[in-house]
Each structure stands twice: as structure tokens, then as C-alpha cells.
Amino acid sequence: MIKPHGSEKLNPLFVFDEQERNELLKEAENLPSVVVSSSAAANAVMLGGGYFNPLTGFMNINAALNVAEKMFTTDGVFFPVPVMNILKSVSTIEGSKKIALLDPNVEGNPVLAVQEVEAVEEISDEQLNFIAEKVFRTTDTEHPGIANFLSLGKFVVSGPIKVLNFSYFEKDFPDTFRTAYQIREEIKGLGWEKVVAFQTRNPMHRAHEELCKIAYERLNADGILIHMLLGKLKKGDVPANVRDACIRKMVEVYFPKNTVLIRGYGFDMLYAGPREAVLHALFRQNAGCTHLIVGRDHAGVGSYYGPFDAQKIFKEEVPEGALEIEIFEADHTAYSKKLNRVVMMREHPDHKPEDYIFLSGTKVREMLSNGEAPPPEFMRPEVAEILMKYYISIKN
């Protein structure tokens, strides 16, 4: 099985020993505490689940700047984005060596993790903008990732953490949420050696479905991990429970049995394009996958990134050997009226634009909101039915 990133064995930061966990929860009752941002909470969940292996906690400013500029921590660990706990205020934890991190996304703000405080530093606007520019390739506050990042605060609290629960993800998505550690165990149990992962924050239409099948066949893979983001998204994106239902129905009806694992992870979307594509690859390597499908505008938003920048970064900026997972480079896919199937467009230079079925996202949402199913060449009718109910419900 593929090794995790940066270590021989995956080291999730969740406290598995029940007695130790209960003792930490009891200790946390008397520790100085702070309600963290949703971004920091998601980072804690990812650290707990082993997705951020081999990190042991939150980065300090120097490490974050190094990662932003060079994609390496100051300790020489390859990592594509800074993993930070940024706070608006540190008044409740000032001078503390150990603190309780409280969950902003669960009622009552329960303890999510306990952090040892190595440093509390104030980050400057210049440093924040430097990180933003390097990671997101823009400082435009219209970019949803930038808007969120620059709103987190000015105080960076660094140090190792011990994670005590997985926030709302286990309760809200019991059939879907899995840690990297759990997925590795599932893959091992299935006897899969070559596993291709597909990242999604959207319901899957025909092109996505066929892309998974094309990669599976061409790589001669043992299985597919359809791995959906379950955390916070930008306004207008389809909620995770609706996406989950769509994907499960599509796989049930249209994929061969026992070829697909449908799983999700608890992270808030960054919309950081190329850098986030590399992060997605690192997640999947830690989860035991050998390949990740990287398609057009992977993890992008608006027109901030070129259509294939997320593929270029692996060739031009990721050092050779930094990751063991391989990339399956996908082109724009669409239904060919000539061939009566979904194809990767670069492979059919004889086709003209009118030979394909194209629908904009706006047009699809409009159709679904009006109770009209998009053509079956674009979206499976079973998926369209679930989405129609959702769009009609938010319209009314």
C-alpha cells in the first residue's frame, strides 16, 4: 500500500485511547479556552484524522510564510498550504501553556482539541497578504477564500494538538465521514492496491461519472474513492447532504458493484486552485490512494485560475518525489453527439463545439429550480430528481 506523506506510518492526532481522551476532556474543563474559527476547527479535524500527516499541530508565522513561499515547512516537510490557528483575540488564553480549543460549529461550543502553546504571535497585514498572494495567487477580497482568510484575525497560536472529537461530521454524516486512517483500513480490507480518487464539492453529473470510469479503466485500478468535501462552502454551493444523496444514487445505479467507496472529509473549502489541488493529492495519499484525478479548474472559483493551472503546478512547482501519489490529468469532458458518449475533448480534434452538449451551471440551476430535468446526456435522471427537489425547496 502507498506510504502516507512524510512518514512510514500514518499518525492521526486523534486520541484513540478512551481513558486518555476522558482525562483530557476533564483537564480541559479547567484550562483557558477559546472558540476557534471554522477554518481552524476544520484544520483540527483534518489533523485528527491523519489527512495532514506528518504535521503535529498548528504552524507558527515563520513556518506558514515558508510554506506559502516554498511549499516546505522550516523543518523541511513538503506542504502546500499553511495550517494555522488564527484568532481575533487571545485575551482568554494569554500566558497559557496549554489551552482548550472550542468548536464554533457545534451548539454549546464543546472542546474539540487541546493545544500546547509554543507561541502566540501577532501577524502583520503584510504577512497575511504575502501568504494570501502565494497560496491563492490573488489578494482580491471578492475571492471567497481570500475573504475568509483575511477575516480570521491577527493572532497566530502555534503548537501541537491532541484532537478529542471530529466536530459535527460524525453525527451529521455517519455513513460518509471517514478519517484518512479509516479509509486506509477500508482499502486494505478490500485488498485494493491501485486506487483512484475523485475530489468533489458538487453533485456529480455525467461528465464526472465518466471521468471516474475512464481513469479507473485506463489505470487498471482496483477501485475508486469518490471523496467529497463535507465542510463549509461558499454561498450558492449545494449542501453536503444533498450532494451525498446524489452521488450515492448515481453510484448505486450506474457503477459496477464493489468498485466505489463513497466517503467524505471534514474540511472547509479554500477555493485555492492549484495549491489546493496539491493539498487534495496529499490528503488522498494519506488516505491510501495511488492516483488523484485532476481536471479542469480543479478547486478553482470564478476566473482566478487558468483551466489547467492545477495540473501545471504538479509539473512546474512540486519537487520530484515530494509526493508519491500520481496525478491522472483529465481534460474538459462533455457528451459527444457524434459518438453518443462522454469523451475528453482533447482526444477528439475532429469535433466542433456544436458536436457537444454544453450547459452552463446557471442554466442547469435555472432548469432544476423550474422542475425541469437537464438532458440525460448531461445529468442522470435519478440525480436530477434529487436536485430538483432541493432547488424547488429553496426557491419556495
Our answer to whether residue 296 is catalytic in this structure is no
Q: Which of 123, 126, 135, 143 is nearest to 67 (CA)?
A: 135
Residue 235: partners with Cβ closer than 8 Å, 6 or more residues away: none
Element (H, E) at 135: helix 125-136
Our answer to whether residue 346 is catalytic in this structure is no
Residue 340: partners with Cβ closer than 8 Å, 6 or more residues away: none
Q: Which of 105, 117, 113, 57 is nearest to 82 (CA)?
A: 57
CB 129 within 8 A of CB 138: no
Catalytic residue among 11, 62, 129, 202: 202
CB 290 within 8 A of CB 325: yes
Angle between helices 125-136 and 61-70 (to 10 degrees): 30
Catalytic residue among 201, 243, 263, 296: 201
Q: How far apart are CA 324 and CA 319, in angstroms?
A: 11
Output b/e per residue, 347-362; b: 16+ Cβ within 10 A.
eeeebeeebbbebeee
Task: Kindly list the catalytic residues.
Answer: 201-202
